[in-house]
Amino acid sequence: MEKKIFNNKISTNDIIIRSALKKLLTNRHAQDKKVRIIEELGVQHGTARVDIAVVNGIMHGYEIKSDQDTLQRLPRQMEVFNSVFNKITLVVGKNHLYQAINIVPEWWGIMVAKINNNGSVIFNLIRGEEFNKNQDSVSIARLLWREEALRILEKNKWADGFYSKPRDFIYKKLASVLDQETLSEEVREKLFLRADWRPDAPLILNGD
């Protein structure tokens, strides 16, 4: 078995971790029938942006805190991400590992990113993620664009009286008439089908 030698003098940054993580996740989900890997997905109308989100049968958020970052924003980001994602994994540089363990909930996964002597980023799983039991339906609905939310109401014949309403009225209506599992399925499907979006969020279809 090959022994990996790490260069502890080289600190990680967001760019090198993000690139390696995106490659790892693309390979990991290569056999998924339908998956979308999204960078900088805005949550709660952009209150926070998760670094990478994997959308397939669930929504799994990955937040990066490299050695050159701080954890100052993490508590607020946690609050926002917890309202939306089924699973969350924090990816940290080695300098933040022990502090991060004491900050994030026990159900968050934790990976540490290090650089070996070949200059490659290696990820070590410290703690596996578990399912989030505290998602908020209105927050999930807010991942939708206003028109997407209206189309869901139209499909279910609930749209009358909501065409001129502010978007938050529409999201609250969706949350009140759809159970959370059904709402989450609708949101994921809209994210899969969303066309007028950034080029870094390709839809990957494998098989039928």
DSSP 21-77: HHHHHHHHTTT-SEEEEEEEEEETTTTEEEEEEEESSSEEEEEEE-TTS-STTHHHH
Asked if residue 37 has pLDDT above 50, the reply is yes
Question: Who wins on pLDDT, 40 or 1?
Answer: 40
Q: How confident is the model at residue 195 (pLDDT cuts 50, 70, 90)?
A: confident
Q: How confident is the model at residue 9 (pLDDT cuts 50, 70, 90)?
A: low
Share of the chain above pLDDT 70, in %: 89
Question: Who wins on pLDDT, 9 or 77?
Answer: 77
This prediction has a pTM of 0.89
DSSP 3-state of 137? helix
Question: Who wins on pLDDT, 76 or 6?
Answer: 76
Q: What is the mean pLDDT of residues 148-177?
A: 92
Neighbours of 75 (CB within 10 A): 10
pLDDT on residue 10: 74
pLDDT on residue 198: 56
Rounded alpha-carbon distances, angstroms, from residue 161 to 150, 153, 166, 201: 11, 11, 11, 33
Q: Which amino acid is at 127?
A: R
Domains of the chain with bracketed CATH = 14-127 (3.40.1350.60), 137-198 (no CATH)
pLDDT on residue 119: 84
Q: Which residue is it, tokens 């900088």?
A: 40
For the chain, give the mean pLDDT. 89
pLDDT on residue 196: 67
Tell me the C-alpha distance between 143 and 133, whole Å.
Answer: 18
CB 110 within 8 A of CB 101: yes
pLDDT on residue 135: 97
Tell me the C-alpha distance between 150 and 164, whole Å.
Answer: 10
Closest CA to 88 of 4, 152, 80: 80
In sequence order, the 6+-apart residues with CB closer than 8 A to the CB of 26 are 37, 204
Judged by average pLDDT, the poorest of 101-110, 133-142, 191-200 is: 191-200
Q: What is the mean pLDDT of residues 70-95?
A: 96
Q: How confident is the model at residue 117 (pLDDT cuts 50, 70, 90)?
A: confident
Q: What is the mean pLDDT of residues 78-91?
A: 97
pLDDT on residue 82: 97
> H/E element holding 92?
strand 87-93
Share of the chain above pLDDT 90, in %: 76
pLDDT on residue 202: 47
Closest CA to 50 of 65, 58, 39, 66: 39
Asked if residue 201 has pLDDT above 60, the reply is no
Tokens standing for residue 89:
């994994």
